[in-house]
Amino acid sequence: MTVHRLNATAASLLGFLHDAPLSGYELAATAERAIGDFWSVTQSQVYRELAAMAEAGLVEPGEREARDRRRYALTDAGRAAFREWVNRPPGPETIRHSLLLTVRFGRHLPPERIATFLRLHRDAHAEKLRAYEAQVAALGAAPSAARDPYQQATLAFGIAYERAVRDWFAEIQDVIPVPPDRPG
């Protein structure tokens, strides 16, 4: 059996298909919910990858349903390709943080403008931290047999990351002051 080399997006889709056949729309929604906080997958990528994986025999499209929807099922070749991918050491991560890029060149902006950007991002990260903490609380309320330790591990990373970002915002306050929101 030939094992296909997968990119991370295709592999994640195969990972989701281990549970049940899903349509492209369902896969995109699942990806957004399950990994969207740390891995972006667009709907167009989902459909492009599904077509390529179907052609390679990694997934099998089902019959057309309402609205031309089609569910894809994982094949044995798809399971083998996923197993090969998930067993490879993950590559190094790359920080691509648009706020940091803007801050790096912040001297070209009026102080109020960079302060606005910092405030918006600070608030967005605070909200993300609250959301992660709420997810952890919800998992804690679930029966222990229903808790997924791998989901818990990714949530723990998300919380640690958001706390580090929160701390960074507090530290740079002396360097780049962020005035409080103006009432209005």
Among 31-35, 162-166, 180-184, the range scoring the smallest mean pLDDT is 180-184
- Pairwise pLDDT comparison (65 vs 138), residue with the higher score: 138
Residue among 130, 119, 129, 132 at smallest CA distance from 172: 119
At 19 the three-state DSSP class reads coil
Res 58: pLDDT: 97
Determine the pLDDT at residue 3.
60
Tens-place pLDDT, residues 110-143: 988 998 999 999 999 999 999 999 999 988 887 8
Tell me the CA distances in angstroms from 83 to 5, 80, 118, 119, 138, one per residue in order: 11, 5, 42, 43, 30
Three-class secondary structure of residue 62 per DSSP = strand
pLDDT tier, 16 (very low <50, low <70, confident <90, very high otherwise): very high
Averaged pLDDT of the chain: 90
Q: Which of 20, 22, 40 is nearest to 31 (CA)?
A: 40
Q: Which strands make up the sheet holding 59-64, listed edge to edge?
A: 22-23, 70-74, 59-64
104-118, 141-155, 168-182 — which one is most confidently predicted on average?
A: 104-118
pLDDT at 184: 47
**What pLDDT was estimated at residue 182?**
57
For 20, list phi and psi in degrees, rounded to 5: -175, 155
Higher pLDDT pick, 96 / 118:
118
The pair phi, psi for residue 7, each rounded to 5°, is -85, 165
Write down the pTM of the prediction: 0.76
Span 17-57, pLDDT tens digits? 999 999 999 999 999 999 988 888 999 999 999 999 999 99
Instruction: Identify the CATH number of the domain defined by range 8-86.
Output: 1.10.10.10
Percent of the chain with pLDDT over 70: 94
Q: What is the pLDDT of residue 63?
A: 85
